[in-house]
A and B are shown apart, each in its own frame.
Chain A
Amino acid sequence: MSVLVLCERRSDGIDEPSLQALAFARALYPGTSVHALACGVAADEVAPLLGAYGVETLHVAEHEVFDTYAPHAVARAAVELAGRLRLHALLAGGSEQGNEVVARVGALLDLPFAANCVAAEAGPPLRVTRVRWGGSLLEEALLHAELALLTVAPHAVAAQETNDGPAAVERFAPALDDADLLVRVRERARAAGGGVTLADAKVVVSAGRGAGSAEGFAPVEELAALLGGAVGCSRAVTMAGWRPHTDQVGQTGTKIAPELYIACGISGATQHMAGCKGAKRILAINTDPDAPILESADYAVIGDLHDVVPAIAAAIRAARNEKAGAE
């Protein structure tokens, strides 16, 4: 018996969630041979990398459709391969793409699928712990299936290198019909670059309903600019139309991982906090000393953001002027 991990390509190799899924699979079935499927990759570039992460055999599906992202064709290729291997489990990273492709495999094979697992114990039945509510709640469940389908929640485990040599490569051309080729990226619209993105910013300054209006964001923007950071907001703000949804932090917005998250006039609902679990430190600015966000914040200033934020901006300027003067 063996396991199969679907590996998502990235311009410079294989994406991190796939490597994490490999570590998860090896821990779940120690000693079992690990197969990987990658679509549309240069086998000789990827085989050494995947070998180093414990893959015994790399299966490369070849078809012109894999020049772009074609999730249904990937699922078809995985199903074809799964039919040839004797598998305990088929896994992928818990990225949008990993979840989508494994869901399609589940639909094609009419098998249950557990998305975003953080732990698992071999069965049968396989026992999983999976993430719900964007990370605010865990579910323990049994997966009743001959072939377990699951994805691994991002950062549930770390990618782990072994000292193995390159994976053996097996190429195949999956049988795909017109319907399988339909869903594919036709065009990539690149966003105009520039500016710090919310997901990558080292500092994020957010405001919530406490900002009171779209204009209430002026001092927040100023503080973010002074710190070279990005502006974020809560869903209360996007629903009010004060900021675009691209600024929203949370379960249904962007997940952020800054060094410092400054959350002004945000109460700290679980769905908001689901988006900033990756923040190293949180500073809350809130009029209410009992706001739930104070239970996940490292630092707090109790006060009206309309007074506190401009005062911080002024103090930063003063401190910088002083430093400049001293030099």
Chain B
Amino acid sequence: MRILVAVKRVPMTGGTIVLTPDARAIATQHLGFTISPHEECAVEEAVRLVEREGGESVVLTLGPPEAEEQLRDAMAVGIDRAIHLVTDEEEWDGQATAGAIVEAVRAEEASSGPFDLLLFGNESADAGGYQVGVRVAHALGLPCVTGLKGIEVRGRLVRCEQEVPGGRDVFEVPLPALLTVKEGLNLPRYPSVPGRMRARQRPIARHEPQRPPARLEKLRFVVPEGERKEAEILGRGPEAAPKVVELLDQLGLLR
């Protein structure tokens, strides 16, 4: 099987989000970066499928030069090679992102043969656009099933499970297909030290796509005014237990 996984570099914000002075980005000087959780599961699934079925896995990202870190992370857990669509720091909208990914996939398929499976996150952690995978699938003429927590390849068919209230909905589509997944699909492995060493040697193909004008044009970010609360301290240590029980009683939760 040949599998492509699309991942996005996102900051690991902690307890509060701090913006840059122009409010067009998150201030990231003191933050680490990661792959979105949904996409970490996509990476893990690709590695498992290739371990089982043979073939090759390729990770792709569109992002600034520093996003190489996330490509190396994916290769450290077993992805074979990477494609980096290098951009400046400006974020691309969903349509532009999808367009560049489609071109890259076409070029890659022309040189190395078709992919059987393209794996995306259901939504990116930071933008939450809910669209890049769907757009790429449409442009490539592939069936697309979204939000999956179960994937099972059976020959040239793939059985897909979506979690819905009270159970799971099952879809079945032929390969090649594009699937978008959610965290909970699997438990991603941690990279090993030899894995990290190997990842440094693995190849990254770089391209610099041109950014089209944004059609969903970001003006600025606003941190929502959560009510900042002053928590009432009920006590310290186990001695606080009676106060907690009093509270539960007030709230009618003791019955």
Instruction: Please indicate the chain A residues that have their CB under 8 angstroms from the CB of B220 in the complex.
Output: 139-140
Q: With A103-B130, A131-B128 known to touch, is A112 a contact of B93 (CB < 8 Å)?
A: yes
Pick the contact of A107 from B137, B164, B168 — CB < 8 Å?
B137
* Contact of B168 with A191 in the complex, beta carbons under 8 Å: yes
Q: With A251-B125, A315-B244 known to touch, is A190 a contact of B167 (CB < 8 Å)?
A: yes
* Contact of A183 with B143 in the complex, beta carbons under 8 Å: yes
Chain B, interface residues (CB within 8 Å), range? 35 or more
Say yes or no for B238: interface residue by CB 8 A criterion.
yes
* Contact of A115 with B15 in the complex, beta carbons under 8 Å: no
A230 CB to closest chain B CB (Å) equals: 13
- Could you give, for residues 137-149 of chain A, a 1 whenever the CB lies within 8 Å of some chain B CB and a 0 otherwise? 1111111110000
Q: With A104-B134, A107-B139 known to touch, is A298 a contact of B231 (CB < 8 Å)?
A: yes
- Could you give, for residues 212-255 of chain B, a 1 whenever the CB lies within 8 Å of some chain A CB and a 0 otherwise? 01111111111110101101111111111111110111010111
What separation, in Å, do the CA atoms of A153 and B164 have in the docked complex?
19
* Contact of B238 with A115 in the complex, beta carbons under 8 Å: no
* Contact of B235 with A301 in the complex, beta carbons under 8 Å: yes
B222 CB to closest chain A CB (Å) equals: 4
Instruction: Please indicate the chain B residues that have their CB under 8 angstroms from the CB of A251 in the complex.
Output: 125
Q: With A292-B16, A316-B254 known to touch, is A113 a contact of B37 (CB < 8 Å)?
A: no
Instruction: Please indicate the chain B residues that have their CB under 8 angstroms from the CB of A110 in the complex.
Output: 95
Q: Which residues of chain A in 67-121 are interfacial with respect to chain B, using CB atoms and an 8 Å cutoff?
A: 69, 71-72, 96, 99-100, 103-104, 106-108, 110-116
Instruction: Please indicate the chain B residues that have their CB under 8 angstroms from the CB of A301 in the complex.
Output: 233-237, 240, 243-244
Pick the contact of B147 from A100, A297, A314 — CB < 8 Å?
A100
Q: With A100-B130, A114-B216, A300-B231 known to touch, is A252 a contact of B253 (CB < 8 Å)?
A: no
Say yes or no for A267: interface residue by CB 8 A criterion.
yes
What separation, in Å, do the CA atoms of A127 and B93 have in the docked complex?
15
Say yes or no for B170: interface residue by CB 8 A criterion.
yes
Say yes or no for A222: interface residue by CB 8 A criterion.
no
Pick the contact of B15 from A289, A295, A307 — CB < 8 Å?
A295
* Contact of A252 with B137 in the complex, beta carbons under 8 Å: no
Instruction: Please indicate the chain B residues that have their CB under 8 angstroms from the CB of A278 in the complex.
Output: none
* Contact of A308 with B253 in the complex, beta carbons under 8 Å: no
Q: Which of B55-63, B108-116, B180-188 contacts A (4 or more CB under 8 A)?
A: B180-188
Q: Which residues of chain A in 230-262 are interfacial with respect to chain B, using CB atoms and an 8 Å cutoff?
A: 235, 238-239, 241, 245-246, 248, 251-253, 259-260
Say yes or no for B209: interface residue by CB 8 A criterion.
no
Say yes or no for A175: interface residue by CB 8 A criterion.
no
Q: Nearest CB to that of B255 among chain A residues?
A: A228
* Contact of A113 with B224 in the complex, beta carbons under 8 Å: no
Q: Nearest CB to that of A135 among chain B residues?
A: B224
Say yes or no for B87: interface residue by CB 8 A criterion.
no
What separation, in Å, do the CA atoms of A289 and B167 have in the docked complex?
40
Say yes or no for A173: interface residue by CB 8 A criterion.
no
Q: Which of A19-27, A163-171, A208-216, A268-276 contacts B (4 or more CB under 8 A)?
A: A268-276
What separation, in Å, do the CA atoms of A316 and B84 have in the docked complex?
57
* Contact of B128 with A138 in the complex, beta carbons under 8 Å: no
Q: Nearest CB to that of B184 among chain A residues?
A: A245
Chain A, interface residues (CB within 8 Å), range? 35 or more
Say yes or no for B51: interface residue by CB 8 A criterion.
no
Say yes or no for A6: interface residue by CB 8 A criterion.
no
What separation, in Å, do the CA atoms of A100 and B179 have in the docked complex?
12
What separation, in Å, do the CA atoms of A271 and B127 have in the docked complex?
13
What separation, in Å, do the CA atoms of A246 and B165 have in the docked complex?
12
Pick the contact of B241 from A235, A281, A311 — CB < 8 Å?
A311
* Contact of A292 with B14 in the complex, beta carbons under 8 Å: yes
Pick the contact of A283 from B13, B141, B247 — CB < 8 Å?
B247
Q: Which residues of chain A in 309-327 are interfacial with respect to chain B, using CB atoms and an 8 Å cutoff?
A: 310-312, 314-316, 319-320
Say yes or no for A202: interface residue by CB 8 A criterion.
yes
B240 CB to closest chain A CB (Å) equals: 4
B171 CB to closest chain A CB (Å) equals: 6
A147 CB to closest chain B CB (Å) equals: 12
* Contact of B166 with A252 in the complex, beta carbons under 8 Å: no
A286 CB to closest chain B CB (Å) equals: 10
* Contact of A116 with B128 in the complex, beta carbons under 8 Å: yes
Instruction: Please indicate the chain B residues that have their CB under 8 angstroms from the CB of A293 in the complex.
Output: 15
What separation, in Å, do the CA atoms of A115 and B95 have in the docked complex?
13
What separation, in Å, do the CA atoms of A105 and B72 have in the docked complex?
35
- Could you give, for residues 139-169 of chain B, a 1 whenever the CB lies within 8 Å of some chain A CB and a 0 otherwise? 1010111110000000000000100111111
B37 CB to closest chain A CB (Å) equals: 4
* Contact of B224 with A297 in the complex, beta carbons under 8 Å: no
Say yes or no for A218: interface residue by CB 8 A criterion.
no
Say yes or no for A304: interface residue by CB 8 A criterion.
yes
Interface centre among B94, B167, B216, B248 (most CB of A within 10 A): B216
Instruction: Please indicate the chain A residues that have their CB under 8 angstroms from the CB of B232 in the complex.
Output: 298-300
Q: With A112-B93, A133-B125, A296-B226 known to touch, is A269 a contact of B240 (CB < 8 Å)?
A: no
B70 CB to closest chain A CB (Å) equals: 16
* Contact of B169 with A185 in the complex, beta carbons under 8 Å: yes
Of the A-B pairs whose beta carbons lie under 8 Å apart in the complex, a sample of 13, sorted by A's number, is A99-B123, A103-B130, A103-B134, A107-B135, A107-B137, A139-B218, A144-B215, A269-B13, A295-B228, A299-B232, A301-B244, A315-B241, A316-B248
**9 additional contacts (CB under 8 A) given A245-B183, A299-B247:** A100-B146, A107-B138, A112-B215, A139-B220, A182-B143, A183-B171, A191-B167, A292-B16, A301-B244
